[in-house]
Amino acid sequence: MSRSERRSRRSIKLPYHKGNLREKFLREAARMIAEGGTGAVSMRRLSNRLGTSRMAAYHHFANKDHLLAAVGQDGFHRLSERLRASDAGELTTLERLRAALVAYVRFAMEETEFFRLMFAGILQRPLRVDAAGELKPFAFSSREAIAAFGQLLSAVKRCQEEGVIRPGDPLVAANMIHAYVHGVARLAIDDHIKIGCSIEEFLNLGLDALFSGLAPNPNPGTHQ
């Protein structure tokens, strides 16, 4: 091979084939957001951190807004997969719900960079789902977000149908449960829970009390 041929071969930029590049872009963007907010993210910085050309990033994402939306969608997709995976084995309906809630907190602690973005209030929420009664439609950032909440709502409805959660608006019960579990997750990832037991033990103690209050025959003194 001549010297000119070797120079020519060195000048050719080969395609980047190291694993799933789109997934690497999403995870790295989530890390950048966790480190410095959305202002820390640009297509140029993202490409530099992964050692790729800027065109490789634009091949997958039209612009920064598209990138941020994709990170949120991917996060909710990952969460939904965790929730589905928890629904295995011969469990009662209430045990399935509990397993899904434990999986939610595990996801927050293991996929923290995604979790922070998903609920940081920076994602646009263009999708609307009609609510019952006079309530305004609920806003969601993506179909993946709708699916994740839908899994929780469906689990609550099944518990009501089987009589382990008292009748009533399933949205109220689902949001009550989500508020508790999400609060535990946020406090846990920021190291603000002051306990001597594990996070999962603490979570389950709270779920025992919550499910007791939502039971068809709650303890005296609880709200109906």
- Cβ pair 127, 59 in contact under 8 A: no
Q: What is the CATH number of domain 72-224?
A: 1.10.357.10
How does pLDDT run across 50-62, given as a tens digit for each residue? 999 888 889 999 9
- Domain chopping of the chain, boundaries: 14-61, 72-224
pTM exceeds 0.85, yes or no: no
- Best-predicted range by mean pLDDT (28-37, 42-51, 213-222): 42-51
Pick the CATH number of 14-61 from 1.10.10.60, 2.60.40.10, 1.10.510.10, 1.10.599.10: 1.10.10.60
Question: How many Cα atoms within 13 Å fall on the side-chain side of residue 180?
Answer: 18
**pLDDT greater than 60 at residue 128:** yes
Tokens standing for residue 117: 């973005």
Give the amino acid at 15: P
CA 79 to chain centre: 4
How does pLDDT run across 138-165, given as a tens digit for each residue? 999 899 999 999 999 999 999 999 999 9
Q: What is the 3-state secondary structure (H, E, C) of 35-96?
A: HHCHHHCCHHHHHHHHCCCHHHHHHHCCCHHHHHHHHHHHHHHHHHHHHHHHCCCCCCHHHH
Q: What angle do CA 189, 190, 194 make, to 5 degrees?
A: 95
